[in-house]
Amino acid sequence: MKIIPAIDVMEGKVVRLYKGDPSKKTVYSDNPLEIASKWQSAGADMLHLVDLDATLGLGSNFELIQKMAKSVSIPVQIAGRLRNENIIENALDFSQRVVLGTLAFKDKVILDKLRITYGSKRIVISVDHKDVRMALIQAYYYLGNYKEAANNMDILDPSSAPHSTDATDLLVAIQSISGSL
């Protein structure tokens, strides 16, 4: 088992959104670099750094996340609206992995190019949904288990799934419980 804590960054602070709602945020620290260091000292195997401002289209903490990644010696994976090659390539310059959601499902050409250039081990596919059932359907769908997905959903088009047999990791996030545990 690996311990991979998430550090969500919004407005330069470490936060947690209750069920994904930015109006229901709790600020845990004004010093994200210190939190990254604390998790490393506590024995985390990797950090999952999320730019919530980018995710929500409210701005960017990319430079701060880059500083966080460079401040620790453990691997990091970066998430938060990584939707074009340039920003993904920049993120891979200082992180071991990137987490791709929308892009993975909407642009298989770029996804395949990134896998070829950087290797599948550096790409994590993210399935986010508010509903547990839908998140699992999307996960089955991505993994190519179309029969299981179809048993739970009426119409699926397998050609739209970013399925690849060389995928290494799939991250499933369920917004209806996120930040509530």
Is 140 part of a structural domain of the chain?
A: no
pTM: 0.80
Q: What is the pLDDT of residue 19?
A: 74
Tell me the C-alpha distance between 82 and 39, whole Å.
24
Q: Which residues are catalytic?
A: 8, 128
Q: Which residue has the higher pLDDT, 32 or 173?
A: 32
Q: What is the pLDDT of residue 140?
A: 56
How many folded domains does the chain comprise?
Answer: 1
Q: Is the pLDDT assigned to residue 153 strictly greater than 60? A: no
Domain residues for the domain of 90 are: 6-126+166-174
Q: pLDDT tens for residues 73-122?
A: 999 999 999 999 999 999 999 999 999 988 887 888 898 899 999 998 99
Q: What is the pLDDT of residue 131?
A: 59
Question: 74: which DSSP letter?
Answer: S
Q: Is the pLDDT assigned to residue 12 strictly greater than 90? A: yes
**In the structure, what pLDDT confidence band is assigned to residue 150 with cuts at 50, 70 and 90?**
very low
Q: What is the pLDDT of residue 125?
A: 85
Is 114 part of a structural domain of the chain?
A: yes
Q: What is the pLDDT of residue 178?
A: 59
Token match 């992180």: residue?
Answer: 95
SS3 category, 128: strand
**In the structure, what pLDDT confidence band is assigned to residue 159 with cuts at 50, 70 and 90?**
very low
Give mean pLDDT, residues 148-176. Answer: 51
Q: Judging by beta carbons within 10 Å of its beta carbon (0-12, 13-18, 19+), is residue 17 exposed, middle or buried?
A: buried
Is 149 part of a structural domain of the chain?
A: no
CATH code for position 78: 3.20.20.70
Q: pLDDT tens for residues 118-146?
A: 998 999 988 765 655 565 655 555 555 54
Is 64 part of a structural domain of the chain?
A: yes
Is 12 part of a structural domain of the chain?
A: yes
Tell me the C-alpha distance between 154 and 150, whole Å.
6
Is 120 part of a structural domain of the chain?
A: yes
Q: pLDDT tens for residues 49-84?
A: 999 999 999 999 999 999 999 999 999 999 999 999
Give mean pLDDT, residues 1-28. Answer: 92
Is 26 part of a structural domain of the chain?
A: yes
